Each structure stands twice: as C-alpha cells, then as structure tokens.
Amino acid sequence: MQRDADALRDTGVTGVAVRLETPRGTVTARSGVGDVVTRRPVSKDGYLRLGSTTKTFVATVMLQLVGEKRLSLDQSVEQLLPGVVSGAGNDGRTITVRDLLQHTSGLSDYVYDVFPDPSAQTYFANRWSAYEPEELVALAMRHEPDFPAGTRWSYSNTNYVLAGMIIQKITGHTWEQQVHDRILRPLGLQRTDTPGTKPFLPRPHTANYQQFSVDGPLVDSTIPYRPFDSGADGSMTGTARDLNRFFAALVNGRLLKPAELAAMRRTVPVPQDGGHPAGTGDGLGLFFTPLSCGGGYLGHGGSGFGYVIRAAATTDGRRTITVSAHSRSADPQIAARQEDALLDLIDHALCRTT
C-alpha cells in the first residue's frame, strides 16, 4: 500500500493519505507533503473535505425515512416540493425520489452555473459567496433537462440539493441536524461535521492545491469554493477513521433496515463516459465498483478544488478504505493517470487483504 501511495504521489499529487481497516487491524500510508511551503508531512488521520461523499450520508437519512413510512422512493418531487422543479421543460411530477438519489432525474447540474469560467480568477472572486438551496435549484431550472426522468443516468449535484430540501420538509429539521441525530451521534463519529458555509478545516489537515490551467501554478485551495461546497450535495468534513466506520456500519446493516439497504445497493449501469471504471453501477447514494480479484466494493467519492477522496467498503463490510489525494491537475492526461493510480491503490489494497 505504501508503494501504491508513492505511485500516486509520483503522478504529481502533492500529498496522499490512506487508511485501510481489516479484521486483522489497521494499515495506514502517507506520501508527499502536507503543504508545499513548509514541506511538513501529510497529516496523520487529518481532517478532510468529504465533498460528494456527503451524498451517502444524505441518502442514508432519506432511506431511514422510507423505512419509517414517512417517505416513498416512488413519490414525485412535485408531491414533496410543490412548484420547485418546473420551467424550461422540467417537471417535478415525472421525477421520483429514487431518480434524485440515483441520478436518473435528468436535471441540469447547477455547478456549471456557479463556476462557468474555470479559472483561478473566478475561484478567488467568488469563493466566499454562498447560495440558499432554493437559489441553486432555481439556477438549474433555467436549463432544459438532459433526458426524460428514469431513462438514463447522469450525475447532477442538483439532485441532492433537492434531497436536502425534502428532508427538511418532512422532518421539520435541516438535513445537517438529521445527519447528526441519526448517524454521527449513534456511531460516535465525533470528528465528522456538517460545517455549511464555514470555510476553515479544523487542524490537523493537509493543504489542497488546484491547478486551474495546464502549465499554470498550483493554487492553495484549502478554503473551499462555497457556491458548491456548502450543501447536502457536498459540504461535510471528517476523517478517514470516521469515514471507514460509517461505511462499515452502513454496509453491515447498522443504519438501515434490510429492505432499504437492499434498495440502496440496487444499481443502474454507469455509462462508460461517466468517469467511473467499467462495470460500475450507481445505487442510491452508493456506487458498486468491480474488483480485479472478483466481487467488488461499495462506496462513494468526493472532489472539489484541490482534492479527491474515495471511501469504500467490501460488500461484506469487513474491509474499508479511505484514500485522499490533495492536489488536482488541469491536464486531462495527468488527471486521468492520477485517477487510475488512485483506483489501482484501492483495488490492490482490498484484493490483497484476507
């Protein structure tokens, strides 16, 4: 695992951290530096931005509500949030809760509205801005849907902004409060949080660096871009230790009843151009990825400016791994090599463990 962490570093990633939990114990690896100025080591079990891994927590709350008969996967968005999904051909009557959680809604991704110009100038100019969920959905509603709901798959952060709004509508409490009450507190995940628009990571943490243009400099992007880093689609922070405990508990059935866990694990194929390995399927806030040694793993990734994170558990819940890479290249070929090295690390770690 250390060799694989070094290989990921050698693709140009400034800092790499890995935590693998197995029945035989915990294995960790670090490579690179915690920041490029002081050259300090990568933080040991430091705080991380979880990015879209937040979606698995939100989906878990939604499925708990399904298990409590307070929500149905087949309910339409219009029934739950009247008038919110409409305009430009968008129709909340045709989109179900399942479509939101499985990215089969066809709704436009608001991210392209809040970061239309991929440049360091835009990052610095807008990184302190924040939007209400309703505002983000309204931005997405200006665009026609990509396809009729339920007919295809396409990842859209707008889906989970709506999921967070549904949680609040049903429970009377924010999705953040529900995640704390239903997941973080029962599992004792004291170093996982829902900071919303608070921009600073607790210490210790490894700095994140984004290259905004090919051959451009690495920009310290440890402060998030709040227009898309502050909601139910990707705002949580935590540690690798906590993430591994969460995914182990989820896959082992400690958070969901059998019927809801089975629904979460029921996948649709992810297209080859969907940015995932061949054979990947998307469930409800949970991806299935094949392993080279047979079988596969369940998990979710997250990314933002300057970081990529992957958290996963084997399908039996006995082995969990979290990998964080703390810089991102603007060169598509280099970025692809980094992604391949990260996926190889996970595959090797889970396949080698007995």
Catalytic-residue membership of 52: yes
- The rounded percent of the chain whose pLDDT value lies above 90 is 95
Q: What are phi and psi of 298, to 5 degrees?
A: -110, 135
Question: Over 80: is that where the pLDDT of 193 sits?
Answer: yes
Task: Give residue 337's pLDDT.
Answer: 97
Q: List the structure tokens of 320.
A: 């969990």
> Domain holding 313: CATH number?
3.40.710.10
Task: Report residue 211's pLDDT band, with 50, 70 and 90 as the boundaries.
Answer: very high
The two counts, helices (H) then strands (E), for the chain are: 13, 15
User: How many other CB atoms are found less than 10 A from the CB of residue 141?
Assistant: 21
Residue 302 confidence (pLDDT): 97
**Which helix (H) or strand (E) is 241 found in, with range?**
helix 240-251
Structure-token match 């070094």, residue found: 6
> Quick check: 228 and 37 in contact, CB under 8 A?
no
- The residues facing 324 across adjacent strands are 17, 309
Q: Verify cis geometry, omega within 30 degrees of 0, for the bond prior to 204.
A: yes
Residue-wise pLDDT tens digits, 169-189: 999 999 999 999 999 999 999
Q: Return all residues near 211 (Cβ < 8 A) that are at least 6 apart.
A: 217, 218, 219, 327, 328, 329, 330, 331
Domain count, the chain: 1
The mean per-residue pLDDT over the stretch 335-345 comes to 97
Can you tell me the distance from the alpha carbon of 15 to that of 30, in angstroms, rounded to the nearest whole number?
8
Q: Using CA atoms, how far apart are residues 77 and 71, in angstroms rounded to an integer?
A: 11
DSSP 287: E
Q: Which amino acid is at 137?
A: V
What pLDDT, on a 0 to 100 scale, did the predictor assign at position 140? 98
Q: Give the model's pLDDT for residue 304.
A: 95
Q: What pLDDT digit, counting tens, does each position of 233-292 carry?
A: 999 999 999 999 999 999 999 999 999 999 999 999 999 887 789 999 999 999 999 999
Half-sphere exposure of 82 (CA within 13 A, CB side): 1
Note whether 225 and 304 are within 8 A (CB): yes
Instruction: Please identify which of the residues 31, 43, 52, 329 carries the catalytic annotation.
Output: 52
Q: What's the domain range around 330?
A: 2-352
This prediction has a pTM of: 0.98
Name the pLDDT band for 149 (thresholds 50, 70, 90): very high
pLDDT in tens, 42-66: 999 999 999 999 999 999 999 999 9
